Amino acid sequence: MSAQPPSHSHRRRRHSSSRQPQSVSTGFGNAGSASTPWTFSRFQSAAASAFVLVIAMIWGGRTPVGQMALVVGALALSASWLVGLWRRSAPVWIPAPGLGLGLAGGLVLLLQILPLPASWLTVISPAQAEVLPLWSAESGARLGLAAWNCISFAPGETRSSLVIYGACLAVFATTVQGLRTSDDVFRLLRLAAGISLGMAAFGVLQYATANRKFYWIFENPDLSTTYYATGSFFNRNHFAQFVVLGIGPAIAWLAMQFKHRERTGREALPPAASPLPLALLGSALAIGVLAVLLSLSRAGTVSMLIAVVVASVGLIRCGWIPIRTGLALAAVTGVVCGVFSLTSSELLGSRFALLDENGRYAIWQTNLAVAERFPWFGTGAGTHVDAHYLELEPRSDGREFVHAESSLLEVASETGLAGASIGAVALLTCLWWCAVVLRRGESEARAAACGILASLLATAAHAAVDFVWHTPACLLMVVLLAAAACRLYTLTALPLRNRPCERPLSRRWTLAAAPLLLMAGGFMVHQLLPAVQAAPPWTQYLAATFHGPEGELSEVEAQELWRQRLRLAHRAARTNRLHPRSQETVATFYLRLFDLKQAAAGRSHTFSRLRTACEGSDFTSAAEVRDWVAEQAGPNARLLDLTWQTTLGAVRTAPLRGEAYLTLAQLAFLHDPSGALKADLLNQALAVRPNDGRVRFFLGREALLAGDMPLALEHWKIAFRGGEARQREIAELLAGQFPAQFFLDEFQPDEPALRVLAEVFEQKRRGSERDRILEVAAERAAELARAATTAIVETHWLHAVEARRQLGDQDLLESALREALESCPQNFRFHRLLGELLLQREDFDGAAEELQWCATRQTDNAQVRALAAAALKNSYRQPAGETERPIRLTSGPPGAAPE
C-alpha cells in the first residue's frame, strides 16, 4: 500500500512545507532504520494482529480462558512498549486524541463499583430503593445485608468488565504508539484484513468438511459446525462480524494493488504488483463474502453489504477505483450472493422471514425500559443477565437473555447516559477522524480511511441489532481499526496545525509506569483467575445436567450421576465465589442431599415436612425451632445451615437473583418463626423478578396456604404466561378441584397451554373436561392456521388434527384433514392420516389414492406400502358406482382406477 498518489497533487503541494508524514519518527527510529529496537516498534503491527488472531481462535474470547488470554496479551504488549521506550535514548509519546474518551469510560465503570454515600445513590440511582427494599429494612440487617452502597447490582461482574475494558484500552494506546508512519498504518490494515479473511477461509473449509466438531476435534453438545459457517466462534453472528470488519480494509488493499499495476504500465512489475497477489486477494474477498452468507447471519449479511458499498463508493470518489472497477466489484459480490441464493434460497428466505424468532423486539423494549429506570449510570456493566428481569414481560418460551441482542442498547442499560454518551462520542470521533483524512489526507491515507470507515459503519449497524461488541475478538478488531484511524488523523491534522506528531517523554515515566503496570496486571489476573479455574468443572456440570446419558437409568446409575453433578457444582462454587449461579445450584443440591440423608437414616421428616411443621407450630423463638429441628434431623441439620449460608453468599454477590430469595424464604422458619422475615424475602423476590413465573407460582402457593385465593389467582395468572413448566404446575395443583371452564375463563390459555391442560386433565382421569379443552384447542388451532401466512400454518394444522384425533370424532377429523391438505398439499402426515381414516371407514377408493401418494414419497416404508396395497385391493372388489370418488386434493399420482 505504498503507491504514488494518483491525483490531487495540488492539495499536497499546498501544505508541503508543514506536512512530512512519511518521515515521522516516534522515538523508535525511522522506518526501515537498522537501529529500530526489535522489542516493540518494529513488529508491533504483526504482534497486535497475531494477538487478535489468537483471541479469535479461542472461541472469539467468549470463555474465561479467552478473556484471560486477552488480559495477558494486552499486558505483554504494554510491557513490550515500556521496554522499547527504555531502550531509546530519547523516548517520545505519540498523541492519541481518543485516549481521554477511553479513560472517561473506565472512570464510569470504576464509579459503578465504588462504595458511595446513600445521599449520592438517592440522586444517581433513585430506583435502587424500590428494587432492593430488603437491604434497607430491619430484616436485611438481621441477615447481615447492609444497605447496598454501589451503583452496580453485580460488582464482581462489573470488575471483570472493567478488566476487559482496560485491556482493550491498553491495546488501543500501545497500537497507536507503534504506528510510526502511514506505512505502518497500512501494514496494520493489511494484517487485519488478512486475519479476517483467513478466518473466513477457515470457516468455509470447516463448514464444507463438517463433522459437527470445532477444529474437527472439539465437540460442543449445544453447537454444531454442520448447519452454517461459524469458524472458531460459538455464535455465527460473531463470526460474520469478524469477517466483515476486515472487508473494508481488504477492498482498500485491493484498490491499491490495482493502482500499482495501472501505474507501472508496461514496465517490469515489482513483486507487490504481480498478478498473483491480486488474484489471491480477489479470491479471498470472494471467500469472505461467501463465508458471511454461509453463516446465515441476517445482520452480518446486511453489514457486509454496507461495508462493500461504503468502501467502493469512497474509493471511487477518492480516485482509487474507476467506476467500472467499482461496478465489477459490486458484480462479483452480486454473483456470489446470487449463486448462494440459488443453492440455499429456502434457508436464506426462512432466516429473513422470521426476524423475531428469538424475541429480539421484546428484549430491546426491556432494555429501553431498564435504561429509563436507571438513566444516569445504569445497573452496572455485566448485570444484564439479572437486570433485564426487572422489566421483562412473561414469556412462554422460558428463554434467558444473557445479552440484550444489541450492543448499543446493552451499553445504555448497563452504563446509562454516562456510558452511552461516551460510547456514542467515541464512535463519532472515529468517524470524524476518517472524514478529516478523506478531506485533507494524502491519497493513500484516503484509501485506507475509506476501508476503515466502511468497516466502522458496518460494525455500528450490526451492533445496533446484535451483541457483537461483547465478543473480545470483534471488539479488538474495532480497537485496531480505531487506532489506525487515530494515527492517520494525527499524521494528517497535526502537521496542518504546525503541531508535532510526537512529544518527548522522560525516561523517568518508564520507571514509574513499570510498577504501575505490574500492580494493574496483578489485579487483572487475580480478578479473572477464579473464573478460569471454575470454568472446567462448571462446564462439565452443565454437560452432565443437560447432555447426560440417554435412555432409562437404573437407580444406582441415577444416584451416581446426581452425585457427580453435585461434586462438579460444588467444586465450581468453591473455586469462584463470585459466581451466583453455581452458589444457588449447590444450595439446591444441599436441600436434596438433606432429604436423601434423612431417608438413609430412617428419619421420616423431609425438609418440606420440617418446614410445614415449624410454620404451623407455636414456636416463639428461633432457638426453639433450631433445637426441635436438631432433634428431628440430627447431624443432617448442618446441611440446612450450609444451604442458608451458600444462598446468602449468592445474594450478597448479586442482589437481583430472585430464585435465591425464594430459597431463603423456605429456610426463614429456622431464623424467624413469626413469618416476618419470610414475608420480607418474598417481597424482595417479587421486587427483582416481578414477572418471573417461578416467583409468581411460589407466591401464589403461599397465598393459597394463607387462605387468600384471589391473591393466589392474581399471582398464578402471571405465572401461567411464563411457559409450560409453570402451566403444568398450576394445572396439576388446581385440576382436581376446578372444571375446565374455570381455566378457560381465568387464565385465557393460548394454543400450547390448552394442550398442557388437556394432558393434565387426562392424567387426573377427568375425560369430559379433557374433551372440552381439546375442542377449544382444535378450534383455536384451526383459526390460527387459517389466519397464518408463513411456515407455521403447518404447525397449527398439526395441532388441530391431533386434537380432533384425540377427540375421536371421525367426521370432524376428516374435515380437518381435508382442510389442512388444502393449505399444506405436500404434508406426508396429513395424507397418511387421511388415508388410514378412510381405510378404517371402508372408503377404499379414497384410502387407496391417499396411501398410494404416500407410498410413492416413501418407497422404503413397508408399512405404508402394505396399507396402500390393502386399500387398492379392496377398491377393486367394490362394484362400480358404489363409492363416490373423493375430490382430488393434491397433484400427486392418484391411486390406480379400476378398469
What is the spatial distance between Cα 729 and Cα 695, in angstroms, rounded to a whole number?
Answer: 13
**What per-residue confidence (pLDDT) applies to 691?**
92
With residues binned 3-state (H G I as helix, E B as strand, rest as coil), the percentages for the chain, rounded to 5, are 70, 0, 30
Residue 13 pLDDT grade (very low, low, confident, very high; cuts 50, 70, 90): very low
**What per-residue confidence (pLDDT) applies to 63?**
93
- Considering the chain, what is the average pLDDT of its residues? 85
Report the sign of the C-alpha dihedral through residues 531, 466, 110, 525, in that order: positive
**What per-residue confidence (pLDDT) applies to 348?**
52
pLDDT of residue 519 exceeding 70: yes
What is the spatial distance between Cα 582 and Cα 571, in angstroms, rounded to a whole number?
Answer: 9
pLDDT of residue 41 exceeding 70: no
Q: Is 579 helix (H, G, I), strand (E, B) or coil?
A: coil
Q: Is 214 helix (H, G, I), strand (E, B) or coil?
A: strand
Residue 318 pLDDT grade (very low, low, confident, very high; cuts 50, 70, 90): confident
Cα–Cα distances (Å) from 603 to 583, 627, 642, in that order, read: 27, 16, 20
> DSSP for 835-887?
HHHHHHTT-HHHHHHHHHHHHHH-TT-HHHHHHHHHHHHHHHHSPTTSSPPPP
Point out the least confidently predicted range of 7-11, 353-357, 495-499, 716-720: 7-11
Higher per-residue confidence, 23 vs 775:
775
What is the spatial distance between Cα 626 and Cα 644, in angstroms, rounded to a whole number?
Answer: 13
Q: Is 609 helix (H, G, I), strand (E, B) or coil?
A: helix
Q: What angle do CA 400, 402, 404 make, to 5 degrees?
A: 105
**What per-residue confidence (pLDDT) applies to 358?**
59
pLDDT digits (tens, 9 = 90+) for 99-127: 999 999 999 999 999 999 989 999 999 99
Burial classification of residue 405, based on how many CB atoms lie within 10 Å of its CB (0-12 exposed, 13-18 middle, 19 or more buried) = buried
Q: Which residue in the block uniquely carries the three cell numbers 391438505?
A: 821
What is the spatial distance between Cα 595 and Cα 636, in angstroms, rounded to a whole number?
Answer: 9
What is the spatial distance between Cα 818 and Cα 840, in angstroms, rounded to a whole number?
Answer: 16
pLDDT of residue 23 exceeding 60: no
- Mean of the pLDDT values across residues 423-449? 94
Backbone angles phi, psi at 214, to 5 degrees: -75, 135
> DSSP for 78-112?
HHHHHHHHHH-SS-EE---TTHHHHHHHHHHHHHH
Q: How many CB atoms lie within 10 A of CB 463?
A: 25
Residue 263 pLDDT grade (very low, low, confident, very high; cuts 50, 70, 90): low
pLDDT of residue 267 exceeding 50: no
Residue 274 pLDDT grade (very low, low, confident, very high; cuts 50, 70, 90): low
**What per-residue confidence (pLDDT) applies to 262?**
60
pTM: 0.85
Q: How many CB atoms lie within 10 A of CB 563?
A: 13
pLDDT digits (tens, 9 = 90+) for 568-600: 999 999 999 989 999 999 999 999 999 999 999
Point out the least confidently predicted range of 184-188, 625-629, 800-804, 889-893: 889-893
Q: Is 218 helix (H, G, I), strand (E, B) or coil?
A: strand
**What per-residue confidence (pLDDT) applies to 211?**
87
Residue 888 pLDDT grade (very low, low, confident, very high; cuts 50, 70, 90): very low
List alpha helices for 735-827, DSSP H.
Answer: 740-747, 751-763, 767-787, 792-807, 810-823
What is the spatial distance between Cα 234 and Cα 219, in angstroms, rounded to a whole number?
Answer: 11
At 536, the amino acid letter reads P
Cα–Cα distances (Å) from 423 to 416, 428, 469, 870, in that order, read: 11, 9, 12, 72
Point out the least confidently predicted range of 218-227, 252-261, 707-716, 758-767: 252-261
Quote the crossing angle between the two packed helices 637-653 and 658-667, to the nearest 10°: 150
Please count the helices (runs of H) and the strands (runs of E) in the chain: 37, 2
pLDDT of residue 219 exceeding 60: yes
Q: What angle do CA 495, 500, 503 make, to 5 degrees?
A: 160
pLDDT of residue 277 exceeding 80: no
- Mean of the pLDDT values across residues 772-794? 83
Q: Is 636 helix (H, G, I), strand (E, B) or coil?
A: helix
Backbone angles phi, psi at 572, to 5 degrees: -65, -45
Residue 898 pLDDT grade (very low, low, confident, very high; cuts 50, 70, 90): very low
At 682, the amino acid letter reads L
Joined together, the cell numbers standing for residue 524 give 487483572
Contact 366, 392 (CB under 8 A): yes
Higher per-residue confidence, 31 vs 217:
217
Which among 646, 302, 690, 287 is positioned nearest to 458, based on CA atoms?
A: 302
Q: In b/e form, how buried is each residue of 68-80, taking b as 16+ CB within 10 angstroms?
A: bbbbbbbbebbbb
List alpha helices for 210-297, DSSP H.
Answer: 236-264, 275-294
Joined together, the cell numbers standing for residue 299 give 445482520
At 366, the amino acid letter reads T
Joined together, the cell numbers standing for residue 691 give 414477572
Torsion of CA 274, 278, 283, 284, to 10 degrees: 110
**What per-residue confidence (pLDDT) applies to 677?**
92
Residue 32, sorted as left (phi over 0), alpha (psi -120 to 50) or beta, turns out to be: left
Contact 472, 70 (CB under 8 A): yes
Q: How many CB atoms lie within 10 A of CB 115?
A: 9
Q: Is 116 helix (H, G, I), strand (E, B) or coil?
A: coil
Joined together, the cell numbers standing for residue 518 give 505490574
Joined together, the cell numbers standing for residue 734 give 388446581
pLDDT of residue 37 exceeding 70: no
Can you give the three-state secondary structure of 448-506, one letter per residue? HHHHHHHHHHHHHHHHCCCCHHHCHHHHHHHHHHHHHHHHHHHHHHHHHCCCCCCEECC
Residue 12 pLDDT grade (very low, low, confident, very high; cuts 50, 70, 90): very low
pLDDT digits (tens, 9 = 90+) for 373-422: 999 999 999 999 999 999 998 877 667 788 888 999 999 999 999 999 99
What is the spatial distance between Cα 525 and Cα 653, in angstroms, rounded to a whole number?
Answer: 20
**What per-residue confidence (pLDDT) applies to 266?**
42
What is the spatial distance between Cα 887 and Cα 385, in angstroms, rounded to a whole number?
Answer: 56
Report the sign of the C-alpha dihedral through residues 492, 310, 340, 295, in that order: positive
What is the spatial distance between Cα 161 and Cα 71, in angstroms, rounded to a whole number?
Answer: 11
**What per-residue confidence (pLDDT) applies to 14?**
39
pLDDT of residue 899 exceeding 60: no
Spell out where 649-712 has E strands.
none
Contact 78, 168 (CB under 8 A): no
Joined together, the cell numbers standing for residue 738 give 376446578
Which among 473, 705, 517, 395 is positioned nearest to 83, based on CA atoms?
A: 517
Strands 503-504 and 92-93: antiparallel
Point out the least confidently predicted range of 87-91, 735-739, 829-833: 87-91
Point out the least confidently predicted range of 334-348, 352-366, 433-447, 708-722: 334-348
pLDDT digits (tens, 9 = 90+) for 470-490: 899 999 999 999 999 999 999
pLDDT digits (tens, 9 = 90+) for 49-94: 999 999 999 999 999 999 999 999 999 999 988 888 888 777 888 8
Residue 93, sorted as left (phi over 0), alpha (psi -120 to 50) or beta, turns out to be: beta
Which among 771, 105, 173, 125 is positioned nearest to 517, based on CA atoms?
A: 173
Report the sign of the C-alpha dihedral through residues 590, 594, 595, 600, in that order: positive
CA atoms within a 13 Å half-sphere pointing along the CA-CB vector of 769: 23
What is the spatial distance between Cα 4 and Cα 444, in angstroms, rounded to a whole number?
Answer: 8
Residue 292 pLDDT grade (very low, low, confident, very high; cuts 50, 70, 90): very high
Joined together, the cell numbers standing for residue 473 give 475478538
Q: Which residue in the block uniquely carries the three cell numbers 407466591?
A: 699
Which among 481, 462, 465 is positioned nearest to 304, based on CA atoms?
A: 462
